[in-house]
Amino acid sequence: MNEHPPMTRIQARNRAVILSGGLDVFSIAGFRGATLDQIADAAGLSKPNLLYYFPSKDAIYAALLEQLLATWLDPLRALDADGDPVTEVLAYARRKLALSRDFPRESRLFATEILAGAPQIHAMLAGPLRDLVNEKALVLQSWMDAGRIRATDPHHLIVSIWALTQHYADFDVQVRAVLGDGDAFAGADHFITDLYRSLLDPAPARRL
């Protein structure tokens, strides 16, 4: 089942530091803007040693994206058709926001890739992502049809959650410049909860 020889401790460690260094650099500079020198510095390894573990700059980038995509859709996948509608949507939005808070570099990596036209992950967007979104949009639609949440466009609802939650990671610099250097995520959590509860709650007794 495992086609590769077992990884030694050194291999595992070095691949990890390289990926972490790569994430640091790629998430700020994008693929083209990043240099192997920067990544090697960030990883604390020499440049040829980098290429001993990964065959090329592309391979590092590809490994990072693969690793990212493996978990990127998890929050949406967890949206449960059998749960309470408002609770489920709010929980999804908060999970997504927590992901941005805990993995801002990954979020920015994703953003740079999308901004560049998604050369590496276009297939995933048009395939698995689209399918998952359509599936969950049906769930949302069924809830709306049953009057359990207010009717609105389910696709745009999902997209709006992405936009809002990722923004706090991706536009971090701007957010901090405007909101100050405190924890923007706590306030964001409140605001986003408030926002989607207002939109979705069919019973307008809104304040908690």
Partner DNA sequence: CATGAATGAGTCTTCATTCAT
Partner DNA sequence: CATGAATGAAGACTCATTCAT
Contacting positions for DNA (CB under 7 A): 8, 10-11, 14, 34-37, 45-49, 51-53, 55-58
Of 97, 93, 94, 103, the C-alpha closest to 71 is 103
Sole residue written with tokens 């929980």: 91
Which C-beta is closer to a copy of itself: that of 18 or that of 25? 25
Token pair for residue 88? 């489920």
Interface residues toward a copy of itself, by CB under 8 A: 27-33, 108, 111-112, 114-118, 122, 125-126, 129-130, 133, 150, 152-153, 155-160, 162-164, 166-168, 170-171, 173-175, 177-179, 187-188, 190-192, 194-195, 198-199, 204, 206
Q: Are 40 and 46 in contact (CB under 8 A)?
A: yes
Which C-beta is closer to DNA: that of 48 or that of 117? 48
| Dist CA 101 CA 114 (whole Å) | 19
Please report how close the Cβ of residue 174 comes to a copy of itself at its closest, in angstroms: 5
Which C-beta is closer to DNA: that of 58 or that of 153? 58
Using CA atoms, how far residue 129 sits from 121, 143, 163, in Å, is: 10, 21, 15
Q: Are 65 and 26 in contact (CB under 8 A)?
A: no
Please report how close the Cβ of residue 51 comes to DNA at its closest, in angstroms: 4
Grouping H, G, I as helix, E, B as strand and the rest as coil, residue 104 is helix
Give the one entry of DNA, a copy of itself, none that residue 48 binds, where binding means its C-beta sits below a cut-off of 5 to 8 angstroms depending on kind: DNA
Give the one entry of DNA, a copy of itself, none that residue 4 binds, where binding means its C-beta sits below a cut-off of 5 to 8 angstroms depending on kind: none
| Dist CA 47 CA 61 (whole Å) | 15
Crossing angle of helices 85-102 and 104-115, rounded to 10°: 90
Of 111, 99, 123, 84, the C-alpha closest to 29 is 111
Please report how close the Cβ of residue 151 comes to a copy of itself at its closest, in angstroms: 9
Please report how close the Cβ of residue 154 comes to DNA at its closest, in angstroms: 42
Which C-beta is closer to DNA: that of 10 or that of 208? 10
Please report how close the Cβ of residue 185 comes to DNA at its closest, in angstroms: 33
Q: What are the φ/ψ torsions at residue 150 (nearest 5 degrees)?
A: -65, 150
Give the one entry of a copy of itself, DNA, none that residue 78 binds, where binding means its C-beta sits below a cut-off of 5 to 8 angstroms depending on kind: none
Give the one entry of DNA, a copy of itself, none that residue 51 binds, where binding means its C-beta sits below a cut-off of 5 to 8 angstroms depending on kind: DNA
